[in-house]
């Protein structure tokens, strides 16, 4: 497999109650998600550590060919005491829900890209 820098990828920005999440989804040559990388919070912060731990777990699921829809289902509705509304009207209640929004946007953009290619 190619290095992360060589893989096609898409970075999605999601506002969450804890700050802005930048979620990068890297694809294989077969256009299948194989790795995620998040930037969330300041380097060395507790929030960044949690984000890195979740990335590791999501990457393990992707290595086992777990469908994105299953990841979305399991991370949905994990909220904290605050929610915010994104600029497209979607409510986000936590960093994990930010990941869900990022995966949904990835799927939407991928579907849109495939429609144009047809």
Kindly report the average pLDDT of the chain as a whole number.
89
Q: Over the stretch 32-69, which tens digit does the pLDDT of each residue have?
A: 999 999 999 888 899 999 999 999 999 999 999 999 99
Q: What is the mean pLDDT of residues 60-82?
A: 94
Query: Alpha-carbon distance 40 to 106, whole Å?
Result: 18
Residue 42 vs residue 7, higher pLDDT: 42
Give the orientation angle of helix 68-75 with respect to helix 46-63, to 10 degrees: 140
Q: How much is the pTM?
A: 0.87
Q: What is the mean pLDDT of residues 110-116?
A: 78
Q: Is the pLDDT of residue 92 over 60?
A: yes
Contact 101, 92 (CB under 8 A): yes
Helical residues (DSSP H) of 1-118, grouped into ranges: 46-63, 68-75, 95-117
Query: Alpha-carbon distance 57 to 86, whole Å?
Result: 26
């Amino acid at each position: 497999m190619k290095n992360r820098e060589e893989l096609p990828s898409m970075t999605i920005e999601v506002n969450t109650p804890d700050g802005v999440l930048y979620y990068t989804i890297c694809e294989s040559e077969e256009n299948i998600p194989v790795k995620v990388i998040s930037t969330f919070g300041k380097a060395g912060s507790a929030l960044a550590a949690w984000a890195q731990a979740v990335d590791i777990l999501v990457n393990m699921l992707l290595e086992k060919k777990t469908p994105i829809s299953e990841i979305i289902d399991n991370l949905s509705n994990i909220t904290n005491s605050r929610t915010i509304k994104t600029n497209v009207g979607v409510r986000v209640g936590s960093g994990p829900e930010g990941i869900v929004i990022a995966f949904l946007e990835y799927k939407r953009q991928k579907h849109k890209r495939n429609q144009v290619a047809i």
